[in-house]
A and B are shown apart, each in its own frame.
Chain A
């Protein structure tokens, strides 16, 4: 490789990496990203759908993301919201119930509740204040 070719390669890769600046910040891509993930304003009051494990005594357990189909929280969140929008939450509920049925970690869980919860993130984390939850779907864990 001569200097001219190395220069062209260098400019091409640097320009490509910088090129997302020409897009709208929310038009993300891979591997050429706008890196806007921490740039958006987010209210601390959040409404999310998520599954809860319910024990025989009625206590709640938060379920690990892998039980939903991914080890990543954001991916799991996406799976749940997509299932809600495509009205396949009952099927997802059954899948999660069958995944956790044989696991020691969740042996006290007898049913799964999918809820829509609205929480203030700071109150939830700092002051242990639970917001409002509405049940969407419930299914039993069959063992």
Chain B
């Protein structure tokens, strides 16, 4: 038990966790802002389309669109406070809950997407961690967190790993080993691109080429399951973590090329920053800033 505790609470710099807070928070804010018109359009759909999920199940009927928009704007303000580390211990949990509500509400109109789940879980985890002990508007605490910062980074990485393992388990529970023969993956890709074509959207750039050569999908299927089941390797150490993150990023690039589905959170690398030395780019920028100011 003490070994497990020592491993989980192994030290990490406060700046690394702060960098992760800034990057994940900035992604969350940008995501909500960029999609604000789309969210508003969906919130104006007739009430018959409203199928509440998650925390939104407390509602029987949709909110007036103006109220939904106001909550979205409040979420943006709270996320801005989250990024800059303003009154973090007080406001960060509210920011996380607001993001949870806003994105759950967006997913409560008959179609649950899977591009935002990990972001919400990461922000929830960060909101209860000492992620604003560095690089924050809040005054730096007189003493570093007595339990360090490494556990929060491990928690984020573990949450990421769990989501990928769940995806593999779902495939194996539903289809069993038959999922590995590639046919199901090929059919998924074909059907997804058919829908896009019929609804006037762009089909994926490599979809038609690969659909005509189905044998390749066996390799893709095996690689997908191996990648998803091996996700916990991110907890083993920095080098395996980096390798797995690179492989997962490549997997998501493949999803774009074959399905034109953009999981931006992992595609931009933000989903993986807790497993990487995220503070280094910020360190470089800060050093340059000090040089520039001659301090």
Contacts and interface: CB of A to CB of B under 8 A. Distances in A.
Interface of A: 1-3, 6-7, 9-10, 13-14, 17-18, 20-21, 25, 28-44, 46, 48, 50, 61-79, 82, 86, 88, 117, 119, 121-122, 124-126
B170 A14 contact: no
B94 interface: no
A73 B196 contact: yes
Given A3-B147, A39-B174, A64 B199 contact: yes
Interface stretch (B18-26, B73-81, B99-107, B272-280): B99-107
B155 A25 contact: no
B170 A36 contact: yes
A65 B103 contact: no
A135 to B, nearest CB: 15
B8 A41 contact: no
A6 B118 CA distance: 20
A123 B201 CA distance: 18
Contact of A40 (B44, B174, B207): B174
A30 B117 contact: yes
Nearest to B151: A6
B170 A13 contact: no
B103 A38 contact: no
Overall SS of chain B's interface: helix
Interface in B65-112: 100, 103-104, 107-112
Contacts of B10: none
Contacts of B203: 125
Contact of A125 (B42, B111, B151, B197): B197
Contacts of A10: 8, 151, 154-155, 158
Contact of B194 (A41, A46, A86, A88): A46
Given A30-B117, A38-B171, A74 B198 contact: no
B120 interface: yes
A35 B46 CA distance: 28
B201 to A, nearest CB: 5
A18 B166 contact: yes
Given A31-B116, A35-B167, A125 B194 contact: yes
B167 to A, nearest CB: 4
Contact of A122 (B116, B179, B190): B190
Given A62-B198, A64-B201, A75-B111, A30 B104 contact: yes
A35 B163 contact: yes
Contacts of B152: 6
B225 to A, nearest CB: 11
29 contacts: A1-B128, A2-B146, A3-B9, A6-B147, A10-B154, A13-B124, A17-B163, A18-B166, A28-B112, A35-B170, A38-B167, A39-B170, A39-B173, A40-B184, A42-B184, A42-B191, A46-B194, A50-B198, A50-B199, A61-B200, A67-B200, A70-B42, A72-B111, A75-B109, A78-B109, A119-B198, A125-B194, A125-B208, A126-B212
Contacts of B117: 30-33
A28 B113 CA distance: 10
B200 A62 contact: yes
B175 interface: yes
A12 B47 CA distance: 35
B41 interface: yes
B188 A82 contact: no
Interface stretch (B48-56, B238-246, B284-292): B48-56
A53 to B, nearest CB: 9
Contacts of B162: 14, 17-18
